A and B are shown apart, each in its own frame.
Chain A
Amino acid sequence: QKEVEQDPGPLSVPEGAIVSLNCTYSNSAFQYFMWYRQYSRKGPELLMYTYSSGNKEDGRFTAQVDKSSKYISLFIRDSQPSDSATYLCAMSAWRGGADGLTFGKGTHLIIQP
């Protein structure tokens, strides 16, 4: 079992829909959770950063962490064609990033105009 599991997709939804992206993990030491967006041939762009369990909202994006279930989610409201990209979840046990981030393999999201 890999440390972080993420459905690779592709996930195709119509413009304006609510998108739900998810990751599960096995390492209970993970405390810091991130979502990155990566466009083709670009580096990952940090979207959301959360610590421990709970919700965090930023504009159209909401991140949820449920440590008891080892499950994290990213919701995108009012999805736009420009949201079409690969979404990567990442997590870490240590504050400061010294242990490196453990990534899911990414979900390829397609927003249809």
Chain B
Amino acid sequence: KAGVTQTPRYLIKTRGQQVTLSCSPISGHRSVSWYQQTPGQGLQFLFEYFSETQRNKGNFPGRFSGRQFSNSRSEMNVSTLELGDSALYLCASSPGQANEQFFGPGTRLTVL
């Protein structure tokens, strides 16, 4: 069974730009969660989608948004990029009925 895939793997943007990251969950998984990982803060929860609905959101500004499509694929968007948004963005999928979350390899975003 294929794992979680994320595209692109690496991205370089400049301040003020916006970016869209994509995540394809494990086949059959309906829940997709997004996390930001930085050396200073560690892994922090951004939001979770289940059947195209956002069920919960972490403590991030409104510049961070996401959506989920009917095939469970998800996208995350960050607008008006700041230097502090440089991080590894991780997507995790889950069947939705349990808490085991399986992570993708992440997208490394660098904001210059």
Q: Which residues of A contact B (CB under 8 A)?
A: 32, 34, 36, 41-46, 49, 88, 90, 92, 94-106
B105, closest chain A residue (CB): A43
- SS class, residues of chain B in contact with chain A: strand
Point out the residues of chain B lying under 8 angstroms from A99, CB to CB: 48, 56
The CB with the most chain A CB atoms within 10 A, among B96, B100, B108, is that of B100
Q: Are A100 and B33 in contact (CB under 8 A)?
A: yes
| Residue of A42, A44, A95 with most partner-chain B CB within 10 A | A44
Closest residue of B by beta carbon distance from A102: B45
Contact B103 A36 (CB under 8 A): yes
Interface bin, chain B: 20 to 34
Interface string of B77-93 (1 = CB under 8 A from A): 00000000000001010
Interface centre among A41, A95, A97, A104 (most CB of B within 10 A): A97
| B101 in contact with A101 (CB, 8 Å) | yes
The reply to whether A49 and B99 contact each other, CB–CB distance below 8 Å, is: yes
Most buried by B among A32, A42, A43: A43
